[in-house]
Structure 1
Amino acid sequence: MPFKLTINPGPHLCEADAQQSVLQSALDAGFMLPYGCRDGACGSCKGRVLEGRVDHGRASENTLSLAERAEGLALFCCAKPLTDLAIQVREVRRTTDIPIKKLPCRVQALERPAPDVMVLTLKLPANDQFRFLAGQYIDFLLAGGKRRSFSIANAPEHSGEMELHIRLVPGGQFTEHVFNTLKERDILRFEGPLGSFFLREDAKPVVMVAGGTGFAPMKGIIEHLIAEGAQRPVTLYWGARDRQGLYMHDLAQQWTEQLPGFKFVPVISDSTDDWNGRTGLVHKAALEDFPDMSGVQAYVCGAPPMVDAARVDFAAAGLPEAEFFADSFSFSADAVS
């Protein structure tokens, strides 16, 4: 017998299946709660249990501490209901606004801007419109029920095609296939759009922090802002180990001429003699320029350690919890199988 689920703000009412996460029950009922990785790593789905009890499942203490659990917080991508529930999240949207679909796509182009990065361009079905918000991601649907998640790197205005940035994972079944055997005109299947990583409407300055291919959703958001003729101040900090890791450096620099109020700050962690720019941890570079973050919105995308560090340090600099949006690139448990 399913439990009753009340979602705030709202309230919105639906059923919660005891065998699946609270997030999945909400999505199945047509309500999109904040979420990103769906694996308990990014913390985007963190909210409060107002009434009832949950099983926290695989939620790690790095993302949801014991103190937070005691205060009634939960990661709704991991939490399963044990009773009827009332929960509080940052925002609730209708999934029917932009429907999630399963579609085929055809490989249109494969380009390698860096030795370990592939830019994959996909042709979408002409007879089935695919809508998404800039910054969201898709899941490739693979044999055996496996999935691989990748952020959409183009703006919604670029209809008919989809661009993804794929980093090679040594031994990774899917990424090895992309780099070694995938070819133009091959057919893939995907589900999307997914996730709640997209730009919120506001007048506040935006601080973007990207690590590696975390640049992909930032690219989609910035190109969307350019297409809209936006005037909102945006600063993008893009970090990589070396210069090769900034695989679209020139494009990002061009945006300073196309988007009023845009600033690009590249950061590398391994200093070299031919690099005169910023060095060190990319989120620390943002803190140097924005020591008081009380008046900005922050969008952070990359590896879980970088996202976690930015969450903690930005909060210490005054960033309200509700103004931190993250997409954490965690790997599937079956990534190398």
Structure 2
Amino acid sequence: MPRTAPPPDQARLQPFRLEALTPLNHEVLRLELSQIAGPPLTYREGQFVTVRLPDGTARSYSPAAACQGDGRLELHIRTLPGGRFSTWLRSDAACPGALLDIGGPYGDCVWTPPDTAGAPLLLLATGTGIAPIRAMLARHLGGAGGHPVHLYWGGLDQPDLYLGEEFAALAIRHAHFRFTPVLAAPAEPWRGRRGYVQAAAADDLPRLDGARVIACGSSAMVDAARMLLVAACGLAPDAFHADAFVAQAAAPMSSSDASLSLEVALPQAPARRLAAPPGSTVLNTLAAAGLLQGVCGGQAACGTCRIGIDPAWRAALPPAGRKEARLLAALESGPDQRLACQICLEAPLDGLRIELP
């Protein structure tokens, strides 16, 4: 089982220099970065790092190239209208020589071949979810001859598949690798597959007994793929590995929505009482107050939102799920520590008392 928690020497932020910024299509930019201080950041292909702008804005991205151990990173970033990071990337500040802080690596969605000899490894991606899969293939495809490897990459239209020619060429060089591009709404004539990647994969591979699946992309695709491949294709539930892209910022909260309270003990500062709407997570409430910002978007993969629970409230919390429990164990957490992203505030937790490190 790959280690989820980052090693202590890589958990802190490291300074990087932006070397080049290149458009890959109408939305996606390739960032090439080099580390300028500290021990070289290393990662397992499929893990992700957090990038912090000078104003403190942080976003998470998976490196798109195999780790060389030389402190260089390649990131593929989809720009969004009005997004903080997107606005910065389109500004004059995002020029060669600009400095960014990067932390990590985090996560455990890494290359995991099937245990069964000859069983297929199925890779699913949408959008820039192709970046970690590209890195995995660069590292592992040459040694994966014992298993057929299938990649299904989906987008709306042809420009979304900005690395299509690269993967088509890879399929020519490796007999055990097959690449299938899938478009949901092509605007121009398209002779390839249409629809969604999970449906195309299920049609081509109706029996996935003994197989492994790695899915990277939108949470909608990941959720749909998990349900379909397990229910219709016989995939073992624990053979589905995923890294979904989810929103990281807390949603705006109006005072009229807030009917619960959260008491927060702070290091070297007076305690604070925060208002929270029912159904929000502790992390979103803390992020809205500017007290804590997670890295992995609520996937229980980074551990940066670890908090202390007042012992009197420990029994009121639902037990940690398997993924949260595994990460807390890897971080050698005490019995009163939990992940803020995994605690949903409902009426029984009104007045919950926590402590920030």
| TM-score, length-scaled by structure 1 | 0.67
Name which of 186, 197, 222 aligns with 2:109: 197
CA distance in 2, matches of 1:263, 1:171: 37
CA distance in 1, matches of 2:8, 2:110: 14
- For 2:192, the equivalent position in structure 1 comes to 277
- For 2:140, the equivalent position in structure 1 comes to 225
CA distance in 2, matches of 1:215, 1:199: 13
CA distance in 1, matches of 2:68, 2:26: 29
Change (3 A) 1:96 1:333: closer
- For 1:239, the equivalent position in structure 2 comes to 154
Matched, 1:188 2:100: yes
Change (3 A) 1:323 1:195: same
Q: What is the CA distance between 1:125 and its match in structure 2?
A: 3.2
CA distance in 1, matches of 2:2, 2:179: 30
Instruction: Indicate if the aligned counterparts of 2:15 and 2:37 stay in contact, CA closer than 8 A.
Output: no
CA distance in 1, matches of 2:186, 2:6: 45
Instruction: Indicate if the aligned counterparts of 1:136 and 1:151 stay in contact, CA closer than 8 A.
Output: yes
**Partner AA of 2:238 in structure 1:** A
Report the 3-state secondary structure (helix = DSSP H, G, I; strand = E; otherwise coil) of the residue aligned with 1:131. coil
Going by fraction, where is strand more abundant, 1 or 2? 1
RMSD of aligned residue pairs (Cα, Å): 2.5
Question: Within 5 Å, which residues of 2 pair with 1:141-220?
Answer: 141-142=52-53, 145-157=56-68, 159-181=70-92, 182-203=94-115, 204-220=119-135
Instruction: Indicate if the aligned counterparts of 2:27 and 2:79 stay in contact, CA closer than 8 A.
Output: yes
Question: Within 5 Å, which residues of 2 pair with 1:38-53?
Answer: none
Change (3 A) 1:256 1:93: same
CA distance in 2, matches of 1:272, 1:172: 26
Instruction: Indicate if the aligned counterparts of 1:229 and 1:259 stay in contact, CA closer than 8 A.
Output: no
Question: Within 5 Å, which residues of 2 pair with 1:239-278?
Answer: 239-278=154-193
- For 2:48, the equivalent position in structure 1 comes to 137
Question: Within 5 Å, which residues of 2 pair with 1:292-307?
Answer: 292-307=207-222
Q: What is the CA distance between 1:260 and its match in structure 2?
A: 4.2
Q: What is the CA distance between 1:312 and its match in structure 2?
A: 0.7
- For 1:120, the equivalent position in structure 2 comes to 31
Report the 3-state secondary structure (helix = DSSP H, G, I; strand = E; otherwise coil) of the residue aligned with 1:154. coil
Change (3 A) 1:229 1:184: same
CA distance in 2, matches of 1:106, 1:335: 31
Q: Where do 5+ consecutive residues of structure 2 fail to align?
A: 253-287, 289-357
CA distance in 1, matches of 2:3, 2:62: 21
Instruction: Indicate if the aligned counterparts of 1:304 and 1:328 stay in contact, CA closer than 8 A.
Output: yes
Greater Rg, structure 1 or structure 2? 2
CA distance in 2, matches of 1:319, 1:161: 37
Report the 3-state secondary structure (helix = DSSP H, G, I; strand = E; otherwise coil) of the residue aligned with 2:46. coil
Q: What is the CA distance between 1:101 and its match in structure 2?
A: 3.7
Question: Within 5 Å, which residues of 2 pair with 1:7-22?
Answer: none
Q: Deviations over 1:229-251 (max 9, x none)?
A: 43232111000000000011111
CA distance in 1, matches of 2:150, 2:12: 33
CA distance in 2, matches of 1:100, 1:137: 12
Matched, 1:322 2:226: no
Instruction: Indicate if the aligned counterparts of 1:157 and 1:224 stay in contact, CA closer than 8 A.
Output: no
Q: What is the CA distance between 1:280 and its match in structure 2?
A: 0.5
Matched, 1:311 2:237: no
Q: What is the CA distance between 1:142 and its match in structure 2?
A: 3.7
**Partner AA of 1:220 in structure 2:** A
CA distance in 1, matches of 2:201, 2:69: 30
Change (3 A) 1:256 1:126: farther
Q: What is the CA distance between 1:218 and its match in structure 2?
A: 0.5
Instruction: Indicate if the aligned counterparts of 1:240 and 1:268 stay in contact, CA closer than 8 A.
Output: yes
- For 2:304, the equivalent position in structure 1 comes to none
Q: What is the CA distance between 1:113 and its match in structure 2?
A: 1.4
Instruction: Indicate if the aligned counterparts of 1:98 and 1:132 stay in contact, CA closer than 8 A.
Output: no
Instruction: Indicate if the aligned counterparts of 1:105 and 1:124 stay in contact, CA closer than 8 A.
Output: yes
Change (3 A) 1:158 1:256: farther
Matched, 1:286 2:286: no
